[in-house]
Structure 1
Amino acid sequence: MNEIIWPEGYLPGFTDNFASNEMIVAGLSVADVWPFLNTPALWPTYYANSANPSFYDGKGPELEDGVRFYFETFGFPVEAQVVEHVAPVGGQPARVAWHGWAGRTAEDRLDVHHAWLLEDLSGGRVRILTQETQRGKPAQALAAAEPNPMINGHDQWLKGLVAATFEAKSAN
């Protein structure tokens, strides 16, 4: 299976916090799932921890390489820029990743690399992997929290993504 590509400074194990969530689901494909992940305006419809997505510079409504966007999650107003964007192509995994940041001081600054990998597997299955590394004092607090808010939040995001995709597929 494929893995996330990490930029310098964000390799798991060398950051303040790391979360990894994955689902393998039968009956869906990367092409089915991609529109729900690649369109931030849809996130709040299936993931309650996401709010107020918007784009800068007249871009959107879909993510693309280099695009800047904004959304709110885990109580943070997140500014973000897409740093990796590989749309689905037959036989190749789809990828999207962004650098996100919030806060301005040493006490409240949070920097993240949030990456997604979607790949079709044998037997009509899709693998959805999301991983995030974080740096900063808020990341240290999130890493120490029990239960882990990042693991639980991203689990809800995955479950919502899959449910929304199945719902749309059954409507067609």
Structure 2
Amino acid sequence: MTIEIQFASFITMGIVGFYLGCMFDTNERIIQAIKGSRIVKGLCQLVFWLIQSMVIFYLLVKVNGGQVRLYFIIAIIFGYWLYFLRFRKVYQRILARIIQLIKAILLFIKKTITTIIIKPIKLLVLAFLTVINLVIMMVLKIFSFLLIMIGWLFRPILLIIPKNVRKYLVSLSKMCSKIIERVLNRKQK
């Protein structure tokens, strides 16, 4: 490995250390936001470190063919230390603003979807249900009117029917009319 490749590898690993500091703080903010068990948070941490390891190894392969030297690890530690001392607070403020911006964008998208899609669908469903309710009420009223007309037409026949059967038919008629009234009253409410 030539001096130029070693120097490029050292600088790259210093930048990777800085990057790891940024990603570690980002990961901590994400983990704090996750509402779940320790197992979920632990799995997130494991995935985070696996991804970071793959990023480091990928960069090493690109820069120097994947050779690991002790001073590369020292460069990573130095980059992280530099981030921690000088840039952490600035990055955390920037990260907080980015998170606020993302939340505002997501809230805007949610409100837009609610206003443009969900509310009109709710109104259409409400209008559809109202029309169905009106149709059912009209059918019940027409049915009730027809029953009254049939009862009026068959009233002379009722006079011929014996009293016992007539009492049964009258009670059956009252029961049917009560059921129809309850259905109509329920639909009107």
TM-score, scaled to structure 1: 0.26
Larger radius of gyration: 2
Q: Which has the higher helix share?
A: 2
